[in-house]
Amino acid sequence: MMQLQGVIDSAVKEVGKVLLGKEPQIRLALCCLVARGHLLIEDLPGMGKTTLSHALAAVLGLSWKRVQFTSDLLPADILGISVYDARDASFSFHPGPIFTQLLLADEINRTTPRTQSALLEAMAEGQVTVEGKTRALPQPFFVIATQNPVHQSGTYPLPESQLDRFLMRLELGYPHPRAEREMFERRHSAIREIDNLQQCINAQQLEAIRVAVSKVQASDSLLDYLQRLVACTRQSPEFEVGLSPRGALALLDCARTWAAMHNRGHVVPEDVQMVLPAVASHRLVPGGEYAGDGMALVDLLLRNVDVIGS
């Protein structure tokens, strides 16, 4: 157990070398991957979205590919295509970039809904069907998608129903001034840190963490709290759409993973509160009269839902 936390800590530290001052987000991103979920990173360009995903792939020792999503990208460009081979007069399948362990789908909202849904389908099923033939994706298979904030023009925001497929959504935000200063200072060194990142977690360790997660207890009191949170999203007028059962399960899974990552055999409310913004903010839709966005809704949940039953 002790060892696991060490492993996680070293992984966080390793990624932290290239993404300065973003430890909480790195931890959440790791949590998401350990919980076998896909990750959506939403922020303005240049905030380090690509760096984060690249670094995560490196420390997890996963094969990774990157696809820049553009408006003319076709489903086939991701999934692959059968090409006629003149020599043996048959079609051979050329796998697309999706056949990797970690796929970075950059600016997913720039492409058409059709291409988006091809990717999302593959994410949900862990396999792709091209020209009537089903092919399994490598295991583990993660997608880290990045998205520009929806207010930019010329984008196709992911439909709300599809957002549910991402276990977590993270916002990176501007770096802390101190971290930014360090970034400036390092700029002069010749080494590209990202190429020198060490693998910190191997497949066996990842499996061990997952076993540990499966043993984490969630007590009645905690489940009550969880249910109060979920009930609040479904009953308060501030919410147009409440948390779905899938969303509620995601919340529990992430809280357990978070607890395991912090070496605890049981979940405490703090775990839930830590993962709640990342897990819930993209699943919640504010009600007609409510001015805030998903983050404001999460804030409201954290403030108003009593941790202790009364």
Partner 1 sequence: MKLQQQVPRNALVWIIISMFALVAPHALRLPPWVLLVYVVAVIWRILVYRGRWSFPGRSVKLILIFSSFIGVYVSYGTLVGLEPMVALLLTAFAFKLIELSRRNDAYVLLFLGYFVCITEFLFSQDLLITLYSMLNVVLVTTALVALHQPGEHQFNRGSIRLAGVMLAQALPLMVVIFFLFPRIDPLWTVPVNNHMAKTGMSDFMKPGDVAKLSQSADVALRVKFDGDIPPVSALYWRGLVFSRMQQGAWSALDYYDVPVKQQRPREMRTSGDALEYTVIMEPSWQNWLYGLHYARATTPGVRHTADYRLSTLSPLETEYMYRVRSWTQAQAEPGLSQWRREIETRLPPGSNPRTRQLAQEMKALTETDQQFIDAVLNKFSTQDYVYTLQPGSLSELHAMDEFLFESRRGFCEHYASAFTVMMRAAGVPARVVAGYLGGEINPVNRTVIVHQFDAHAWAEVWLQGQGWVRVDPTAAVSPERIEWGLEAAMQAEGSFLSEAPLSALRYRNIPFLNLLRLRYDALTYRWQSWIVGFNSERQLNLLRDIFGEINTRVIATVLLGSWVLVLVPVSISLFRKRATRQVSRPDRFYLKFCERLARLGLVRSAGETPGQFFLRAEAALPAYAGQMRDITSLYNQLAYAGTADGEGADASTLDTFSRAVKRFRPSR
Partner 2 sequence: MADALGVTTEQGLNRRLRASFRQWINRRIPPAREVTLDQRRIFIFPSKAGFFFGFCLLVMLVTAINFQNNLGYALTFLLAMLFMVAILHTFANLSGLTIRALRARPAFPGQQTEFDLMIERGRQRDHFGLHLMWPGSSEALVNLVDEDTVTVQLHMAVDQRGWYSPGRLLLESSYPLGLLRCWTWVDLELHALVYPRPLASADLPGLATDTPDGAAVTVTGSDDFYGFRDYHKGDSPRHIHWKGVAKGQGVQSKQYTAYADRSVWLDWDMFPGLGTEQRLSHLCYWALEFESRNQEYGLRMPAVVIEPHMGDRHRDRVLRELALYGMEGQA
Residue with Cβ nearer partner 1 (295 or 307): 307
The minimum distance between CB 215 and partner 1, in angstroms, equals: 11
Residue 183, contacted partner among partner 1, partner 2, none, CB below 5-8 A by kind = none
Q: Which 8-state DSSP code applies to residue 105?
A: E
The minimum distance between CB 115 and partner 2, in angstroms, equals: 9
Residue with Cβ nearer partner 1 (50 or 273): 273
132 binds partner 2 (CB under 8 A): no
What is the rounded CA–CA span in Å between residue 285 and residue 41? 18
309 binds partner 2 (CB under 8 A): no
The site for partner 1 (CB under 8 A) is made up of: 217-223, 265-270, 273, 301-310
Tokens of 296: 């404001």
310 binds partner 2 (CB under 8 A): no
Q: Which 8-state DSSP code applies to residue 39?
A: E
- Residues 133-172, one symbol each (x = binds partner 2 by CB under 8 A, - = not), give -----------------xx-xx-xx-xx------------
188 binds partner 2 (CB under 8 A): no
Residue 24, contacted partner among partner 2, partner 1, none, CB below 5-8 A by kind = none
State the sign of the Cα–Cα–Cα–Cα dihedral 146, 152, 155, 158: positive
Residue with Cβ nearer partner 1 (53 or 273): 273
Residue with Cβ nearer partner 2 (109 or 257): 109
Q: How far is CA 9 from CA 26, 34, 178, in A?
A: 10, 14, 21
Phi, psi of 133 (to 5 degrees): -115, 135
The minimum distance between CB 130 and partner 2, in angstroms, equals: 13
Residue 134, contacted partner among partner 2, partner 1, none, CB below 5-8 A by kind = none
Location of structure tokens 């800590």: 9
Whether the bond into 140 is cis, omega within 30 of 0:
yes
Instruction: Tell me if 225 sits within 8 A of 270, measured CB to CB.
Output: no
What is the rounded CA–CA span in Å between residue 238 and residue 73? 37
Strand-strand pairing, 90-95 and 80-85: antiparallel
Q: Enumerate residues 6+ apart whose C-beta is below 8 A from 124.
A: 165
- Residues near partner 2 (CB under 8 A) are 71-72, 74-76, 84, 112, 114, 150-151, 153-154, 156-157, 159-160, 235, 237, 240, 285, 287-289
